[in-house]
Amino acid sequence: MNGQRNVKMASSQDAWYLSLLGLAENFRTSSPPNFKLCIQCLQAVFNFKPPQRVEARTHLQLGNILLTHTKNIDLARNHLEKAWLLSQSINGFDDVKFEAASVLAELHEQQKNPNAAKPILRKAIEISQNSVYWHCRLIFQLSQIHASERDYELASSLLGVGVDYAHISQANYTRVLFLLSKCMLLLIDKKFQEVNQLLAQAGHLVDTWGGSQHQKEYLKVFFLVLQVCHYLLAGQVKSVKPWLKQLQQSIQIIMQPSWPSDEVLTATSPGDMFIWMPKEHLYVLVYLVTVMHSMQGGYMDKAQKYTDKAFTQIEKLKIVDNKPILSVFHLMLLEHIIMCRLVMGNKCLALQEISQACALCKSHPRLLLTHRPQIHTLLGLYAMSMNCMEAAEAQFLAALRTSSERELWNFANLNLAIVYLRAKREPEFTALLERIDPETITSNSHSIRAAAYYVQGLQSFFQARYNEAKRFLRETLKMANAEDLNRLTSCSLVLLGHIFLSLGNSRESMNMVTPAMQLASKIPDVHVQLWASAILKGN
């Protein structure tokens, strides 16, 4: 009799918790959903001592709902921890086990506690080798944490593990994603030699892709974005053009209405259910790299046109889902368009947009942390355009103090050198000279080295060492012409024109200034136009 009573009690308990789970789901999916009652039903399930699997899954459900629909983060974390702890001892049960680990780690990271997230993810990676999807996803997640801490070596090493694992697991699409993600981190870390080799490998895998054509085109866009960024970081505006054209063609294909959704694209196998970013975000990114190219090459009208298009697209996307990456794109576009405005002489507009950039950083503290040096640099450029040399110096020094980016140091130092030359502060310029010497400057950028020769030429001009100045400026012209660096070309031609005028050679001066004026009008660069006009009047 006792045995029968126990069976009845067990089945009665089962009925209770199953009913509560059903009710909870009903409240969750009703229109509108009633999350308060859903949470109460799920919490009541634990009173009936459900099996361990049900208990773990219910803790996970509660953690997710509390996280998404309430402000009770501590309780959410508590449930997620229980779900992760309980599920580890259950064989199989991968979805609950690894989702609990992933969501819990993400919560720790959001709460600025990555050191609590890392051991959870390491343990989950260790025990997920039989689940291709989760193993790959958890590797991506842990790598992302290390990358956000600027530990690029460890992040790259993890992605390398992902490349090998995906290859063994025949998740070929994800293998290329891991490889391209590793290329991206190496680019960020300025490991250009390693990037060349890996990009070539990734490019070969994309070219010889035998799977879905849609996946091939998506991987091609990722590859081309990295290839274009690689050239732009190297200041090679001319060499990048064929790659940029390919990228613009590829993104048009992906954005066609007949193109499958991202979900359909990745539904071929469990190990391939990943994307780098949604195609709508890729569309904005292609606009951004086009603006970067236009700015570096000195095509200001084109930069403005594509910035406007990108802003329109960002606003549309923000209405649907305001993802943090959209604010990053917005800020980077602002940084480039501000420089365009200053070149074109639109100082009021530049100042308004600097204010917008500051407001954007203020509303996203992490952006302020990563983009503060760029804001200081833009303020320095604005101050230079207004002839406020002390303010410009203060901003460039602040940029140098707050940045760890070598190319930004180079850019700030070169502008600081021009400030010192214009203010006739010879001792300060001399102290800076070693850091901006074109022969020894630590830079991977063709345009930075060309600009360093220009600054040397400017110094020689101010010291009336005209032959030396001409030698430096001809080096600048050679480098600028090789990569279509139009602004440097026009500045160098005008300065050469000024030198020939100082030497009393009006004819040679005209030969330099006339093409400079034409190029400056095409850019358009208001300062070079004014400078050239003054020389023409002098002639």
Range with lowest mean pLDDT among 4-18, 162-176, 189-203, 419-433:
4-18
Cα–Cα distance for residue pair 339/379, rounded to 1 Å: 10
pTM of the model: 0.91
| Long-range Cβ pairs for the range 267-270 (8 Å, 24+) | 268/173, 268/211, 268/212, 268/215, 269/171, 270/132, 270/133
pLDDT digits (tens, 9 = 90+) for 433-456: 999 999 999 999 999 999 999 999
Question: Which value, to the nearest 10 degrees, does the dihedral of the CA atoms of residues 492, 485, 235, 245 take?
Answer: 180
Print the SS3 string covering 31-94: CCCCHHHHHHHHHHHHHHCCCHHHHHHHHHHHHHHHHHHCCCHHHHHHHHHHHHHHHHCCCCCH
Give the pLDDT confidence score for residue 65 in this predicted structure.
Answer: 87
What integer is the mean pLDDT of 338-344? Answer: 95
Quick check: 347 and 328 in contact, CB under 8 A? no
Position with higher pLDDT, 36 vs 134: 134
What would the pLDDT profile of 401-422 be if each residue is shown by its tens digit?
Answer: 999 999 999 999 999 999 999 9
Helix, strand or coil, per DSSP, at residue 129: coil
Q: Which amino acid is at 445?
A: S
DSSP state of 260: P
pLDDT class for 468, splitting at 50, 70, 90?
A: very high
Average of pLDDT values for 137-150? Answer: 96
Distance CA 96, CA 424 (A): 69
DSSP class of 322: -
Q: List alpha helices for 255-323, DSSP H.
A: 262-265, 279-297, 300-320
Give the mean pLDDT of 204-208. Answer: 96
Query: How sure is the predictor about 4, in pLDDT bands with cuts at 50, 70 and 90?
Result: very low
Tell me: pLDDT of 140 over 50: yes
Tell whether the model's pLDDT for residue 295 goes beyond 90: yes
Structure tokens at 12: 């009665």
User: In this model, does residue 11 exceed pLDDT 60?
Assistant: no
pLDDT of residue 22: 66
Give the residue-averaged pLDDT of 209-235: 95
Under DSSP, the state recorded for 261 is: P
Contact call for residues 194 and 186 (beta carbons, < 8 A): yes
Q: Which CATH number, 1.10.760, 1.10.287, 1.10.520, 1.20.58, labels domain 277-345?
A: 1.20.58
Write down the mean pLDDT value for the chain: 91
Domain definitions of the chain by residue range = 277-345, 455-539
Same topology for domains 277-345 and 455-539, yes or no?
no
Q: CB–CB of 244/228 below 8 Å?
A: yes
Name the architecture of domain 455-539.
Alpha Horseshoe (1.25)
Using the predicted structure, report yes or no on whether residue 24 has a pLDDT greater than 70: no
Distances from the Cα of 431 to the Cα of 400, 419, 468, angstroms = 15, 13, 20
pLDDT at 38: 75
Please write the tens of the pLDDT for every residue from 75-118: 999 999 999 999 999 988 899 999 999 999 999 999 999 999 99
State the pLDDT at residue 5.
38
